[in-house]
Amino acid sequence: MTDTLLADVKTRWTQIRSGKWGDEPLIRVLGREPVLRWLLGFAILCLASFNFARDLNDPPHAFWDESYYVTALERYEGHIASYASHPPLGFMLMKVGRDLAGDAHKADSRFLAEVKKTDTRKIPDGYSFTGVRLMGGLFSVAGAVLFYLICLTLTREAFSAAIFSLLYVFENALIVHFRAGHLDPFQITFALAGILIWLRAFCDPQKDTWKHAALFGALIGLSFMVKVNTVVLLALPGFTALRDLMRSRWPMDRTIGHITAKAVAVAASFTVIMVSVFVLHTVANPVAPNFKTDAGRKDAPFITEPYKAWLEKRGPLTPQVLYDATNGYFRFMNNDFTGIVKTEKNGSNPALWPLMNKNITYRWDANKGRTSYVQMAGNLFNWTLGGLALLATLVLLAQRAFQKKPWLDTHEMDIAAAVLGMWIVFMGVHIWLGTQRVMYIYHYFAALLLSFMLLPLLYQVLKSRFAWIETHKDYVLGVVCVGAAAGFIWISPLTYHQPLSRSACEARNIPFKMVTCQPKPKPAHSVSS
């Protein structure tokens, strides 16, 4: 048996070296669509790993919200009960990454648990950010694969799906934010998984079941348990329901029953995930905080007596304790939300997000005339395509509605209508949120990816109408590939904390300001006679 297996392996290796697989040329086998899907998916995985998951300890300093999250992580290291501005799942995943990296012992940072936010200069020398950022990097890679699967569902063709996936893989704004100790890579990856499940159900009636609806609800629930603003994605099944109602004939009892069953499944699975994560968070952190510390004083008003008694080993773990712990977490977040300022120098107007308004300098370090930046700046080519896709989709949907053009009455345009509708709902909610609290450009990420999803849909619609697109599709897709890669490379020094001279920095401010170049020149002093 072993000899036969070894002989078969040897034969196959000889065939591969000769460029054949069996009696067929190897290149023809690799070019088959099912094989190509796997090969290009693996290529996306490798490329995303290189872009998102390398040099995670550079810079070896906390920046932006890491100054909050490293303190939360220390409380998880000590299993100390605490509350935060966001639900607990993201912090729990960061803890997993730190355990995998095994670098928590490199510096004694336990004192960071005593505050909600630390001065980054107080983080001890030798502190490793690799573990803090590891799971974010890995989730970002998973997000790239999910976006590839979304594009594959939209185009049903591996090569074009891989090309459009590069909009995610080469998006500088995602990379710089996701490869840090931030919550967004977890949130967006769960959201993309939910969008994929919704999309497959939208495209295939056999998958439009309560089971798939339950899975969708669970995934959006996981996204919600990282950061709450993606709860708006629960509107996606509403667009499916609207399509079904518009196509149904009277009586619509079956359609309404089907929609109701799916709605119940979404709500139930969402609730189960939410409750489960809060219970896990409570049970995994049974140590009472030190109420004399800054962090303990801020948590104390939201910790009830039964919960406190359990933490101090004076009482049992009961359903009341679990309810109080969960309710206290929600009250803490709500109090934090109402206390957030509405304006801040790095805050931005959500209505201007598609124009990449208000890039953020997370950190800069100057040395010998050269400056290294961590800049939340996007790939200008990608954002331009995303904006044009939104406008083009709106125009085509208007033509479909008012001019009744037959070539626009397609399944792809149905999907485009739902995706654009979701983008509008997302932006409407966030424009309102912008009147309640300060908002930042990275809150646009979910909507940005929705705009990217419109591109493969437009490609499918337009190439069926205009023969020259199908004839020259390699050139069309080549422009997307080269443009996304070139835009990424141009901005990458700002993404990866690479040193730039001031002139090289200023070059990135063409055609519009991308970064405030440092150090600022000293003002000239005039000499009076």
- With contact defined as beta carbons under 8 Å apart, do 74 and 214 qualify? no
pLDDT of residue 26: 44
pLDDT digits (tens, 9 = 90+) for 54-112: 888 888 888 888 888 999 999 999 999 999 999 999 999 999 999 998 888 888 888 88
The whole domain housing 18 covers 1-30
pTM for this entry: 0.90
Characterise 227 by phi-psi region: left (phi > 0), alpha (psi -120 to 50), beta (else).
beta
Confidence band for 34, pLDDT divided at 50, 70 and 90:
confident
Mean pLDDT of all residues in the chain? 88
Q: Does the residue 17 lie in any domain? A: yes
Percent of the chain past pLDDT 90, that is, above it, reads 60
- Find where tokens 């977040």 sit: 333
- Stretch 305-332: mean pLDDT: 93
Of residues 6 and 510, more confidence is placed in: 510
Burial of 235 (0-12, 13-18, 19+ CB in 10 A): middle
Question: Half-sphere exposure of residue 424, counting CA atoms within 13 Å on the CB side?
Answer: 11
Q: Does the residue 6 lie in any domain? A: yes
Q: Does the residue 136 lie in any domain? A: no
- Stretch 210-217: mean pLDDT: 94
pLDDT digits (tens, 9 = 90+) for 142-190: 999 999 999 999 998 999 999 999 999 999 999 999 999 899 999 999 9
Confidence band for 121, pLDDT divided at 50, 70 and 90:
confident
For the record, the structure tokens of 481 come out as 């590939």
Q: Does the residue 25 lie in any domain? A: yes
pLDDT of residue 218: 97
pLDDT of residue 182: 92
pLDDT digits (tens, 9 = 90+) for 239-265: 988 888 887 766 666 778 888 999 999
Provide the 8-state DSSP code for 381.
H
DSSP 3-state helix, strand, coil percentages of the chain (rounded to 5)? Answer: 70, 5, 25
pLDDT of residue 526: 41
pLDDT of residue 529 exceeding 60: no
For the record, the structure tokens of 236 come out as 């996606």
Q: Does the residue 241 lie in any domain? A: no
Characterise 78 by phi-psi region: left (phi > 0), alpha (psi -120 to 50), beta (else).
alpha
Confidence band for 136, pLDDT divided at 50, 70 and 90:
very high
- Tally the domains of the chain: 1
Q: Does the residue 41 lie in any domain? A: no
pLDDT of residue 1 exceeding 90: no
pLDDT of residue 528: 36
Confidence band for 8, pLDDT divided at 50, 70 and 90:
low
Q: Residue 206 CA to chain centroid, in angstroms?
A: 28
Q: Does the residue 210 lie in any domain? A: no
The secondary structure element, H or E, covering residue 363 is strand 360-367
pLDDT of residue 25 exceeding 60: no
Q: Does the residue 5 lie in any domain? A: yes
